[in-house]
Amino acid sequence: AQTVTQSQPEMSVQEAETVTLSCTYDTSESDYYLFWYKQPPSRQMILVIRQEAYKQQNATENRFSVNFQKAAKSFSLKISDSQLGDAAMYFCAYISGGGADGLTFGKGTHLIIQP
């Protein structure tokens, strides 16, 4: 079974600074997809960024980018120019290429933005 590990229960960053959230995963499959989801307090989960395992190029969405290291099974999220609205729980998630079994999530990282 696939597992996703987020080793940082909580991270704190000053507004406008850069922060990196860590994620590692374990799988024996070669076809899979990785995601970062954001869950603000009492609000619904939304997709931040996704990465296809077959693509070597790291995904980027505005201030959000990933560092995907396939051999190391590492998938970190970098948030540049942190804003107060970035404060939330961030979940790393995995899904196999076939899509069965749904998303496997890590335990999440609570990101605090210091004004």
Partner 1 sequence: EAGVAQSPRYKIIEKRQSVAFWCNPISGHATLYWYQQILGQGPKLLIQFQNNGVVDDSQLPKDRFSAERLKGVDSTLKIQPAKLEDSAVYLCASSLSGRQETQYFGPGTRLLVL
Region of residue 107 (left: phi > 0; alpha: psi -120 to 50; beta: else)? alpha
**Residue whose CB is less far from partner 1, 33 or 64:** 33
Find the part of the chain contacting partner 1 (CB under 8 A) among 12-20, 22-30, 59-67, 87-95: 87-95
Query: How would you label 22-53 residue by residue, b for 16+ Cβ within 10 Å and e otherwise?
Result: bbbbebeeeebbbbbbbeeeeeeeeebbebeb
Q: How many residues bind partner 1 (CB under 8 A)?
A: 28
Residue 38 touching partner 1 (CB under 8 A): no
Q: Contact residues for partner 1 (CB under 8 A)?
A: 4, 32-33, 35, 37, 43-47, 50, 52, 91, 93, 95-108
